[in-house]
Copies of this chain bind each other. A is one copy, B any other.
Amino acid sequence: MKIGYLGPKGTFSFQVAKKYYKSAELVEFNTILEVIIGLKNEEIDEAVVPIENSIQGGVTETIDAIIENDGIFVNKEIKMKINQNLLANKKYKLNEIKELYSHPQAIAQCRKYIDQNLKNAKIIKVSSTAFAAKEITQKDYCACIANISCLEEYGLQLLGKNIQDNDFNTTKFWILSKREINNGNKMSLIFSTKHKPGALYQVLGVFNKNQINLTKIESRPAKTKLGEYIFLVDLDINENINKVMQELNNECNYLKVLGRYEEI
Tell me the A residues contacting B by CB distance below 8 Å: 33, 52-57, 60-61, 79, 104, 108, 111, 123-127, 166, 168, 170, 172, 197-198, 200-201, 204-205, 207-208, 211, 213-221, 223-227, 229
Least Cβ distance of A155 to chain B in Å? 23
Indicate which residue in B79, B170, B200, B211 contacts A214 across the interface (CB closer than 8 Å).
Answer: B200
Indicate which residue in B54, B60, B227 contacts A223 across the interface (CB closer than 8 Å).
Answer: B54
The secondary-structure label for the interface of chain A is mixed
Assess the B226–A52 pair: CB atoms within 8 A: yes
Q: How far is the CA of A220 from the CA of B216 in the complex (A)?
A: 10
- Closest 3 CB pairs between A and B? A125-B125, A197-B213, A201-B204
Q: How far is the CA of A57 from the CA of B170 in the complex (A)?
A: 23
A111 contacts across to B, CB distance below 8 A: 33
Q: How far is the CA of A211 from the CA of B215 in the complex (A)?
A: 27
A/B interface sample: 27 pairs, CB < 8 A: A52-B226, A53-B221, A54-B221, A54-B226, A55-B221, A56-B221, A57-B219, A57-B221, A79-B226, A104-B125, A123-B127, A124-B124, A125-B125, A125-B126, A125-B127, A166-B223, A168-B223, A168-B225, A170-B225, A197-B211, A200-B204, A200-B217, A201-B208, A215-B227, A217-B229, A218-B219, A219-B219
A79 contacts across to B, CB distance below 8 A: 226
Least Cβ distance of A237 to chain B in Å? 13
Q: Which residue of the partner chain B has the closest CB to A34? A: B115
Q: How far is the CA of A214 from the CA of B61 in the complex (A)?
A: 26
Query: Given A198-B208, A219-B219, are A225 and B54 also a contact pair (CB < 8 Å)?
Result: yes
A127 contacts across to B, CB distance below 8 A: 123, 125
Q: Which residue of the partner chain B has the closest CB to A30? A: B123
